[in-house]
Amino acid sequence: MAIATTNPTTGEVLKTYEPLPDDALEEKIARAAAAFRSYRLTSVEDRVGWLRAAADVLDADTDAVAELMTTEMGKTLASAKAEVAKCATALRYYADHGPAMLEPQQLDADAVGARQAYVTYQPLGVVLAVMPWNFPLWQAMRFAAPALMAGNVGLLKHASNVPQTALYMEELFRRAGFPADVFQTLLIGSATIERVLRDDRVVAATLTGSAPAGQSVAAIAGDALKPTVLELGGSDPFIVMPSADLAAAAAVAVTSRNQNNGQSCIAAKRFFVHADVAEEFTRLFAEKIGELTVGDPMDPDTQVGPLATESGLQDVVEYVEDAVGKGATAVVGGHRVDRPGWFYEPTLLTGVTSEMAVHAEEVFGPVAALYTVQSLDEAIEIANSHPYGLGSNLWSEDEAERAQFVRDIEAGMAFVNGMTTSYPQLPFGGVKQSGYGRELTELGMREFMNAKTVWVG
């Protein structure tokens, strides 16, 4: 993919970039390695100060950065502003809580015949972050804030369609006063990742994106014996039981499926509705989907903008054609929007069956697949038959159903009477083909730390 800003609202190519030549890439890796040698020795207090300064820079830049993201990948301006604010929250969260997370953990010295025994958490070094375009600031920040708090150094290979947001990330940390080169953006294509990952000066990698990209990075990192965190796709179930507040569930279902123009890994994508309430829920859900305003994402009234790429739009067109061709019904939507740019109508498919691609794959666009089920057992069984296991949602007022759902759903996150959302204060990640490892909280920070055991006699 060319490294370029292409406005999905118009299809117009606004700016293109040459990939970094070999010698410039080498220089950036060398600078990152040199930066780590001194950055690891900086005080926790200094890092806290730089994180807070970065949050302040983001606050001041909100309008400009939000416009940049909307221009590069089409999210609504309001959601882009919310994304900037969330990034500032994450920076402040690690400034507030990072020092305690980095405290040594005292162990039972007597039991091991020592005067002192403890675990001390130390940064690993230069970490490569391969990031996607859908939350171009947040996905990268979710890595950067804990990594920089921990004393690691970051190299960001961002998605090729968000180069300006990627360059802004580097600028942000520089302007916040972090030491030079602790966070650099590499404008490279995905074919160059292997060279970076195999470099001895790069010690670990994190990737958010598709399963094939994750497999590729994990295979190279595995061969080179370097740790990875993978946050891959999701096709989150959203289960609605008879005791649920149907109006609330339908409203949240619409938000969850159509947030970010339908392009979120933790969007609810498969809706399992108990037969007793299926008709009523489907009516409410379809009605609210039909009310969504699709249009220019810069317009404050717009709720759903374009898909980020032309190929992404084509994938959605094919998924819906395949499902309808095999007997599904598009209760609402089901077509491209007749206007320039990569717009698709918010869509509700009913009558989805296992023969359809929407059943077993991830639709990265505003298309909800609805199943009618006879029981919670059936909903969980079909939900768990999917290769992904990222987030999950249950709507029920029944204690026993909630307990069963939390116990049995194969997912990294279980949300009851709400939608799966990432918060700096909660661990984030999946199981099965959705990846491994956790981001955010102290779990995310420690993924790229050496938990060094210390015994002092």
Could you give the residue numbers annotated as active site?
Answer: 231, 265
Question: Is 208 one of the binding residues for ligand NDP (CB under 6 A)?
Answer: yes
Residue 171 CB, nearest approach to ligand NDP (Å): 19
Count CB-CB contacts under 10 A for residue 225: 6
Residue 369 CB, nearest approach to ligand NDP (Å): 15
- Residue among 1 and 248 whose Cβ is closer to ligand NDP: 1
DSSP state letter for 57: H
> At which residue do the structure tokens 């001194």 appear?
38
Per rule CB under 6 A, count of chain residues that contact ligand NDP = 26
Residue 208 CB, nearest approach to ligand NDP (Å): 5
- Residue among 138 and 405 whose Cβ is closer to ligand NDP: 138
- Residue among 210 and 243 whose Cβ is closer to ligand NDP: 210
DSSP state letter for 364: -
The two tokens of residue 265 are 């890994």
- Residue among 230 and 289 whose Cβ is closer to ligand NDP: 230
Query: In b/e form, how buried is each residue of 154-185, taking b as 16+ CB within 10 angstroms?
Result: bbbbbbbbbbbbbbbbbebbbbbebbebbbbb
Question: Is 69 one of the binding residues for ligand NDP (CB under 6 A)?
Answer: no
**Which among 204, 83, 77 is positioned nearest to 150, based on CA atoms?**
204
**Which among 200, 151, 188, 167 is positioned nearest to 46, based on CA atoms?**
151
Question: Is 439 one of the binding residues for ligand NDP (CB under 6 A)?
Answer: no
| Contacting residue, 74, 136, 209, 341, with ligand NDP by CB under 6 A | 209
| Contacting residue, 90, 159, 292, 376, with ligand NDP by CB under 6 A | 159
Question: Is 231 one of the binding residues for ligand NDP (CB under 6 A)?
Answer: yes
Residue 391 CB, nearest approach to ligand NDP (Å): 11
Residue 417 CB, nearest approach to ligand NDP (Å): 24
Binding letters toward ligand NDP, positions 356-375, x by CB under 6 A:
------x-x-----------
Tell me the one-letter amino acid at 19: P
| Contacting residue, 10, 120, 190, 417, with ligand NDP by CB under 6 A | 190
Residue 68's H or E segment, with its range, is helix 44-73
| Contacting residue, 193, 203, 267, 320, with ligand NDP by CB under 6 A | 193
3-class SS of residue 33: helix
Question: Is 229 one of the binding residues for ligand NDP (CB under 6 A)?
Answer: no
Alpha-carbon distance of 413 to 427, in angstroms, equals: 9
Residue 40 CB, nearest approach to ligand NDP (Å): 27
| Contacting residue, 54, 129, 141, 217, with ligand NDP by CB under 6 A | 217
- Residue among 91 and 196 whose Cβ is closer to ligand NDP: 196
Site for ligand NDP in 255-314 (CB under 6 A): 265
Q: Does residue 437 contact residue 228 with C-beta atoms inside 8 Å?
A: yes
- Residue among 152 and 259 whose Cβ is closer to ligand NDP: 259
Residue 357's alpha-carbon distances to 169, 263, 312, in angstroms, are 36, 17, 15
Sign of CA dihedral 395, 399, 401, 403: positive
Binding letters toward ligand NDP, positions 126-155, x by CB under 6 A:
----xxxxx---------------------
**Which among 371, 74, 331, 101 is positioned nearest to 240, based on CA atoms?**
371
DSSP E strands, 284-414: 329-332, 347-350, 367-373, 388-389, 393-395
Residue 265 CB, nearest approach to ligand NDP (Å): 3
Residue 118's H or E segment, with its range, is strand 116-123
**CA neighbours closer than 13 Å in the CB half-sphere of residue 45:** 0
Question: Is 83 one of the binding residues for ligand NDP (CB under 6 A)?
Answer: no
| Contacting residue, 10, 42, 62, 210, with ligand NDP by CB under 6 A | 210
**Which among 27, 29, 248, 306 is positioned nearest to 155, based on CA atoms?**
29
- Residue among 15 and 283 whose Cβ is closer to ligand NDP: 15
Interface with ligand NDP by CB under 6 A: which residues? 1, 130-134, 157-160, 189-190, 193, 208-210, 212-213, 216-217, 231-233, 265, 362, 364
